[in-house]
Chain A
Amino acid sequence: MGILQHFAECKSLVDYLKTLSNHVVDDLFGYPAACLAIFRELPKLAQNYVLRILYVEQAIPQAVISTWVSKAHVKEHSEAAEAISTLRVWKEVTMQGGLAGWMLDHKFRHNLKVALLGGGKQWTKSTNLDQDSKPRTVKDLDLYALERWEAMLHFLTEKQQKSDTVSKDTIMTLTHAGLMEQDENNAPSITNEGFQFLLLDTASQVWYFIVKYLETVEQRGLSTAECLAFLFSLSFATLGRDYGTEGFEDNMQQFMQHLREFGLIYQRTRKAGRFYPTRLALNLASRNNKISLDTEKHKTGFIVVETNYRLYAYTDSDLQLALVGMFTDFLFRFPNLVVGVITRDSIRQALRSGISAEQIISFLKMHAHYEMIKTAHINNPLPPTVVDQIRLWEMERNRLTFTDSVLYNQFLSHRDYEVVRDYAQETGVLLHGSDQKRTIVVKGSGHDDVKRFWKRHSKNSS
């Protein structure tokens, strides 16, 4: 569960922000886009609280705020207050009279107001941008984003690496993220976690990748806050609109080039004066919206699973087929369709390479065909038989656990048996004791201990 562990830590923006240090967060508050992103991450009740006191520039007693909610919902109130406090959006102050109160962080308030009402700096100097001579449509942008992202994912899956498709920086990030490792030939190859990464949905992949990238950003001389702010601003941009690139410092320009490589923005040339954000970058902060990069070749909802364990994948993209092929056996292949069957062997093979059943199921759910979602509910579009069976196959592997141990038997007297058993239990190494057969099974690590004890004991008694 390696990747999921890392993942759980920075699953959402909020959790990621919690991992950042104080001063980074403080810097972040200086950017309106970041404040907006953070605001959107708050729970709904908390959002209302913040807006209510947005214009009040003094502290408000905590007791007063707690009266805003009816008594039946005290729990929600405390959750909301907690959420706001952990993100340091407001802080505790002691007011006159000794009451505990809360006050919105000054920077946060100011910049949120800027985001809402205006003022402050604009993000890109695009006001006087003239019409692009070769405008890019949304479709073009999607194609581009897909191509770039798939190139990277392909890089993960291919055995022979053509290292010119992907830049060294990307390889460095991938290795840092634990998705690839150096094997014997000093060539990078995919790890278990890499497999799991492949099965995630695109939005999570992008988010995870960017997070890992940001961890390396300090080394390159960029400030995390600035990059984050840029990313947030990027995520609030409108799809299909071009933005100017002038006015950014060099290291920011480099950052933008990396983003271009990942497929988050599109620039026609390196020196072009404008760039377009792609769908991958949009809504980076809030991952509620599914990013659906639909092209003819590559649709996001392309899998149909039947109750007889047959799987139909309406796609032609190699990457998607490679992903699906990790856990299904293919039967037929047509120009736009691939038919496969989910069998015990195919699932076990996937399980052996480190993928969990949950990931397979969420992958299938993520890419369930629109028809399946329509007939079933969006929350469980897959047939429950198949889902349960995949889980059962996974549980089959957990039927037996092995522990190194040593067996003691043929005790001469019941008392001896009891003495040894109690001692083993006290020291915590007893695995199994049978009174009728007078046998004890002790963990391998505890064997010496028990042996010494027994020798002492028999010496004492004899």
Chain B
Amino acid sequence: MEVESNLLIVVIDVNPAQKYVRSDSKQFFNCVDSVLTFCNAHLMLQASNKACVIASHINQSHILYPIEEREGVTLKPIRQVDGQYEVFLELEKSVRSQIKKFVMSDAFTSFDSTRSADSSGNFTTCLASALGKALCYINRKERELTAGEKLNSRILVVSGSSESTAQYMSFMNVFFSAQKLGVIIDACVLGPYATLLSQGADITGGIYLRPPHIPGLLQYLLWVFLPEASLRKQLALPPPVPVDYRAACFCHRQLIDMGYVCSVCLSSK
């Protein structure tokens, strides 16, 4: 009689600095559509499944769905326009409108280029804050459970950005908190190799995938990331990518095999 529900949180990277976006911006919207269809497929599996979509930008992140009701603002109910299930339609429509709003807004382009870029001039997405928001959402949902309900959560990160060294600590904090909470973090990487995300997937028991063929993103998502944790054991999924856990020297920022460790702060040289 215990009701088990699965919560899927998708973190979409809307940073225009991603390589695949810069080359063709239409591809970006296709990818968003694929991700939304994937979310709907997740909701389709079970009536008790839930989803949440978070967008992550260079210096900000927003929860796009579900939209919280604000006092005084009654939203017009989204009605079925065709045979699509209402809930799916709702998700798609709201996320799309939110993204449109965001892209057109000033906040999208107003970033202080001196502050947001890190030392090497990269404009990287602040995924860590988006992941943090996701974890807070999960925590809230867990508190709202009634007796006899169980919530399994997982996070999927769809991103093509390169990684920022400045976020290392935050990333590690997020990954270890997720591990403690029992939350799986999957990574679908559309750009260059992402060390931190692969480490995160390894730590939390998720899957790291780099689809070679980006337009077919939906099939990859449906195949690899849709099954829930208990099913993943039964299915034959892509093998884990060997993670480079070597430490980097603190002063030279180079990967080292053997080095010295400070006994106070555990930083290595």
Binding site for B on A (CB under 8 A): 32-33, 36, 39-40, 44-45, 47-48, 51-52, 54-55, 67-70, 72-73, 76-77, 111, 114-124, 126-127, 129, 236-238, 241, 283, 286, 288-290, 365, 370, 373-374, 378-379
Contacts and interface: CB of A to CB of B under 8 A. Distances in A.
Contact of A51 (B3, B89, B222): B222
B80 A127 contact: yes
B47 A119 contact: no
A117 B37 contact: yes
B83 A378 contact: no
B82 A51 contact: no
B265 interface: no
Q: Is the interface of B mostly helix, strand, loop or mixed?
A: loop
Interface string B46-85: 1110000000000000000000000000000101111111
Nearest to A371: B147
A118 B89 contact: yes
B148 A373 contact: yes
B44 A36 contact: yes
B223 A129 contact: no
Nearest to B149: A378
A286 B47 CA distance: 8
Contacts of B233: 70, 73
Interface string B236-255: 10000000000000000000
A115 B85 contact: yes
Interface string B199-237: 000000000000000000011001100111001011110
B154 to A, nearest CB: 15
Contacts of A51: 41, 222, 226
A45 B236 contact: no
Interface of B: 1-3, 37, 40-41, 44-48, 77, 79-89, 147-148, 218-219, 222-223, 226-228, 231, 233-236
A403 B222 CA distance: 63
A236 B86 contact: yes
B147 A370 contact: yes
B48 A129 contact: no
Contacts of A120: 82-84
Contacts of A379: 1-2
Q: Kindly name the residue among A44, A119, A124 whose own CB sees the greatest number of chain B CB atoms within 10 A.
A: A44
A33 B84 CA distance: 9
A44 B48 CA distance: 13
Nearest to B40: A116
Contacts of B48: 288-289
A81 to B, nearest CB: 13
Contact of B235 (A55, A69, A238): A69
B43 to A, nearest CB: 9
B85 A36 contact: yes
A1 to B, nearest CB: 22
B222 A378 contact: no
Q: Kindly name the residue among B48, B85, B219 whose own CB sees the greatest number of chain A CB atoms within 10 A.
A: B85
Given A374-B147, A379-B2, A126 B41 contact: no
Which 10 pairs of residues, A with B, have the shortest CB-CB distance? A120-B83, A378-B148, A118-B84, A73-B234, A32-B83, A114-B83, A122-B80, A373-B147, A127-B79, A374-B147
A20 to B, nearest CB: 22
Contact of B236 (A70, A283, A289): A70
B227 A119 contact: no
B81 to A, nearest CB: 6
A378 B1 contact: yes
B80 A126 contact: yes
Given A40-B45, A40-B46, A45-B231, A52 B222 contact: yes
Nearest to B150: A378
Given A44-B231, A55-B218, A115-B84, A126 B79 contact: yes
17 contacts: A40-B44, A40-B47, A44-B228, A48-B235, A51-B41, A55-B218, A116-B88, A117-B40, A118-B83, A119-B82, A119-B84, A237-B86, A238-B86, A283-B47, A288-B47, A370-B147, A374-B147
A13 B83 CA distance: 21
Q: Kindly name the residue among B44, B79, B88, B222 whose own CB sees the greatest number of chain A CB atoms within 10 A.
A: B79
A122 B83 contact: yes
Nearest to A282: B47
Given A39-B44, A241-B77, A123 B83 contact: yes
B114 to A, nearest CB: 44
A115 B83 contact: yes
A123 B147 contact: no
B235 A378 contact: no
A116 B236 contact: no
B38 to A, nearest CB: 10
A116 B82 contact: no
Nearest to B83: A120
B41 A116 contact: yes
A129 B80 CA distance: 11
Contacts of A44: 45, 227-228, 231
B40 to A, nearest CB: 6
A47 B45 contact: yes
Nearest to A115: B85
Contacts of A370: 147
Contacts of A123: 80, 83
Contacts of B85: 32-33, 36, 115-116, 236
A69 B233 CA distance: 9
A283 B47 CA distance: 8
A83 to B, nearest CB: 14
B80 A124 contact: yes
Given A51-B226, A69-B235, A122 B82 contact: yes
A152 B41 CA distance: 39
A241 B76 CA distance: 11
